[in-house]
Structure 1
């Protein structure tokens, strides 16, 4: 573990203004977010705020909001978000030097929409492989050492078998002392044994077991009988 808790304090904020209007952001401000396992999955519908959270966590740790390692902080025209610039961490014992010393910091922020460009500027050549294979280049070549790795929907470009490969990379990374925080829709990734799963939505944030995830229930029922869903969507 690198960090044990993330938090941000504001003396006041407008609850009707984004991002403070997002329930999970308000809960973060009120309670903070504790990390209880080397891998934390944030799961929720589009617009639930999970990507807002992971971006702010990455920025707070010193990773470029565009995507990439801490060596490329602010290399892109994207500025630091209002939440990200206020993010603070309580370090785990093995992460104290990394949190307090820029030179000791290790990690990577992988955004689905900017991953290939971020990899290209860090010396990889993702253009020579498929989109999905380009993602795996990052996992094979950048996710190697103890550090904080923040992922935003990494399954976006991956097939079923590639998602399984990613699970293996994450498992090996954490055994080397790394920590992973991942926003995802994938029931495959969230099934990683020992992972902490936080469901994000109108309720804010709550910890759930894999079998209790709404996305797992929907996929199970859809695969059992797609017509139950499609009859409400596809015209006869």
Structure 2
């Protein structure tokens, strides 16, 4: 495991994001990672993206996305949580030499257009592909070496079939000694066998099985009776 525990020791907890229950619980108890693949799930605003962004910053990845040791935007300071979060485990080398990548759905398209064809990235022109095809090209190219790979809602651009392809990429990362931390709303990704799922909400953070997840229950109910949710 590259990272087996995450802690946070802010000077003050009276401001955002420490007021978000999952972040407050992270400050209080820390978070132990005991499997190569970890998912954070929760409603919008639950803090999952805030936490994965801070983990990326603490490891040396640009918060807007990209690989270790490279900055997509150089003038952005670290977030407040990124300044105070601490990573523990088998972290080797300085931040420029570490293997890793942060795929952030909301900024991925701009980043991919900026670096396509540059040394150390992919040769294909992802601007000539669909959004989903571009995502898979990036994942297949950048998620190879053992390292820390962080994703924020990667399913945003992916179809059902493409999500299954992402699951296979995740399995390969874990098999080769890498580690993944992923914030997601996807019942497909979170079903990956052997992964740990943390559910974030007003309760804070709790470990959950796939079948117990609220998002899985909501999808199950919707697929069984969509008209109930459509008001018909």
The one of 82, 85, 88 equivalent to 1:87 is 85
Mapped to 2, the partners of 1:28 and 1:117 lie a distance apart of 31
**1:172 equivalent in structure 2:** 172
- Indicate the SS of the match to 1:114: helix
1:185-229: CA deviation from partner (whole Å, max 9, x where unpaired): 000000000000000001110000000000100111110111121
* Shift >4 Å, 4+ stretches: none
- Alpha-carbon distance, 1:70 to partner: 1.4
Q: How many residues align?
A: 225
1:163-199: CA deviation from partner (whole Å, max 9, x where unpaired): 0000000000110111000000000000000000000
Mapped to 1, the partners of 2:140 and 2:209 lie a distance apart of 29
The one of 66, 72, 75 equivalent to 2:73 is 75
- Indicate the SS of the match to 2:4: strand
**1:213 equivalent in structure 2:** 213
**2:37 equivalent in structure 1:** 39
- Alpha-carbon distance, 1:74 to partner: 6.3
Mapped to 1, the partners of 2:27 and 2:187 lie a distance apart of 28
The alpha-carbon distance between structure 1 residues 146 and 55, as it changes in their structure 2 partners (threshold 3 A), is same
The alpha-carbon distance between structure 1 residues 186 and 26, as it changes in their structure 2 partners (threshold 3 A), is same
The one of 97, 106, 109 equivalent to 2:92 is 97
**1:116 equivalent in structure 2:** 109
1:103-128: CA deviation from partner (whole Å, max 9, x where unpaired): 54110011101112223333343201
Structure 2 length as normaliser, TM-score?
0.92
Q: Is contact 2:2-2:178 (8 Å) kept?
A: yes
Q: Given the alignment of the two structures, is residue 23 of structure 1 paired with residue 16 of structure 2, yes or no? A: no
The alpha-carbon distance between structure 1 residues 20 and 103, as it changes in their structure 2 partners (threshold 3 A), is closer
**1:107 equivalent in structure 2:** 100
- Alpha-carbon distance, 1:96 to partner: 3.4
- Indicate the SS of the match to 2:183: strand
Mapped to 2, the partners of 1:216 and 1:61 lie a distance apart of 31
Structure 1 length as normaliser, TM-score?
0.91
Give the aligned CA root-mean-square deviation in angstroms: 1.4
**1:56 equivalent in structure 2:** 54
Q: Is contact 1:109-1:150 (8 Å) kept?
A: yes
Stretches of structure 1 lacking an aligned partner (at least 5 in a row)? none
Mapped to 2, the partners of 1:33 and 1:197 lie a distance apart of 12
Q: Is contact 2:59-2:95 (8 Å) kept?
A: no
